[in-house]
């Protein structure tokens, strides 16, 4: 990811005011956001050339690209926060699975198109409402990244919401499949808004939004979409967590094996 650009140094005057401890926490959190977008973007890119129809193949590739763009802004910022000379490439390519901080949802396999749509819907619903809060509730650089990504996340959520409705209110087969996907994947949605110790600490400092408001907006949107789709919202689900603390499902290792292959095989390789 060689770059001919640098970020305007005026973009984050707050950076100098953070104590080393705050800076370290913010670094960990920005890394978590970057990992999340990277892993989901990678998953979506696996559809490239395999989409059910050309237009949706393109849609998923486009969404993957948006997420990758967000990922780069986040890793660049993380590298700056860490201040140890690591680059965005080091952070993406040279950390192990246990060092990755993405929630479990985004590493789940693509499955069939319904699985991918449900995974995307659960993530987009969080992403969109989270970014909206991040705009007003964060450190300046994170707010700038959120402002940029929110415009894109809006298209993503519209896309996945409409597909939930098409599949739910579509044919017997599409309905059967999307119901199965909801049963399998809903249990990963709770982690998105369950704050970790790190997140609680940053929330207490007002650097990142509280998740209650995010969750309320998510629930309202999910109810609207699933009702329109004639689908039931799962109730009383036991939610699986751990990814944000580095405890992952087996799937992440396989993703990283492919994603990091070049840098692991030819260390220091550049374009």
Partner 1 sequence: MVAPAPPAEAHIWQLLEEVTDPEVPVLSILDLGIVRAVRVEGEQITVTITPTYSGCPAMNTIATDIRLRLLAEGYTKLIINNQLSPAWTTDWMTKAGREKLEAYGIAPPIDGTASGHVLNLFGKETAVRCPLCKSEHTHLVSQFGSTACKALYQCDDCREPFDYFKCHS
Sites of contact with partner 1 (CB under 8 A): 2-8, 11, 55-56, 58-59, 61-63, 65-70, 72-73, 128, 143-145, 147-149, 151-152, 154-155, 157-159, 161-162, 165, 221, 224-225, 228
Looking at the Cβ atoms of 178 and 198, the one nearer to partner 1 is 178
Find out whether 14 and 139 touch, Cβ atoms under 8 Å: yes
Q: Which is nearer to partner 1, 154 or 249 (CB)?
A: 154
Tell me how far, at minimum, the Cβ of 148 lies from partner 1, in Å.
Answer: 5
Q: How far is the CB of 200 from partner 1 (least distance, A)?
A: 27
Packed helices 211-228 and 140-168: angle between N→C axes, nearest 10 degrees: 20
At its nearest, how many Å lie between partner 1 and the CB of residue 166?
9
Specify the residue, 146 or 255, whose C-beta has the smaller distance to partner 1: 146
Interacting residues of 179 by C-beta distance below 8 A, sequence separation 6+: 168, 231
Nearer to partner 1, 99 or 140 (CB): 140
The helix-helix angle for 113-134 and 20-45 (nearest 10°) equals 150
Q: Which is nearer to partner 1, 57 or 90 (CB)?
A: 57
- Among 249, 230, 234, which residue's Cα sits nearest to residue 170? 230
CB of 268 to partner 1, least distance (A): 20
By the 8 A CB rule, do 89 and 245 touch?
no
Q: Least distance to partner 1 from the beta carbon of 15, Å?
A: 15
Per DSSP, 186 falls in state G
131: Cα within 13 Å, side-chain hemisphere: 22
Output the CA–CA distances (angstroms, integers) from residue 259 to 46, 63, 69, 254, in the order listed. 11, 18, 16, 9
């Amino acid at each position: 990811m060689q770059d001919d650009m640098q970020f305007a140094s005026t973009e984050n005057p707050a950076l100098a005011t953070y104590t080393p401890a705050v800076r370290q926490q913010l670094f960990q959190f920005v890394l978590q956001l970057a990992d999340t977008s990277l892993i989901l973007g990678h998953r979506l890119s696996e559809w490239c050339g395999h989409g059910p129809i050309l237009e949706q193949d393109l849609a998923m590739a486009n969404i993957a690209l948006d997420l990758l763009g967000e990922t780069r802004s986040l890793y660049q910022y993380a590298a700056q926060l860490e201040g140890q000379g690591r680059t965005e490439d080091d952070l993406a390519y040279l950390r192990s699975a246990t060092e990755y901080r993405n929630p479990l949802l985004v590493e789940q396999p693509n499955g069939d198109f319904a699985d991918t749509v449900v995974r995307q819907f659960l993530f987009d619903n969080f992403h969109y409402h989270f970014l909206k809060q991040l705009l007003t509730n964060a450190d300046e650089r994170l707010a700038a990244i959120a402002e940029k990504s929110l415009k894109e996340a809006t298209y993503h959520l519209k896309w996945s919401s409409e597909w939930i409705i098409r599949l739910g209110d579509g044919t017997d087969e599409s309905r059967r499949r999307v119901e199965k996907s909801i049963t399998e994947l809903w249990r990963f949605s709770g982690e998105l808004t369950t704050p970790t110790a790190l997140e609680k600490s940053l929330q207490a400092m007002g650097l990142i939004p509280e998740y209650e408001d995010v969750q309320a907006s998510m629930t309202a949107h999910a109810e609207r979409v699933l009702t329109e789709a004639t689908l039931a919202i799962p109730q009383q689900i036991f939610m699986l967590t751990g990814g944000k603390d580095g405890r992952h499902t087996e799937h992440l290792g396989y993703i990283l094996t492919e994603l990091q292959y070049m840098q692991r095989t030819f260390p220091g390789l550049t374009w």
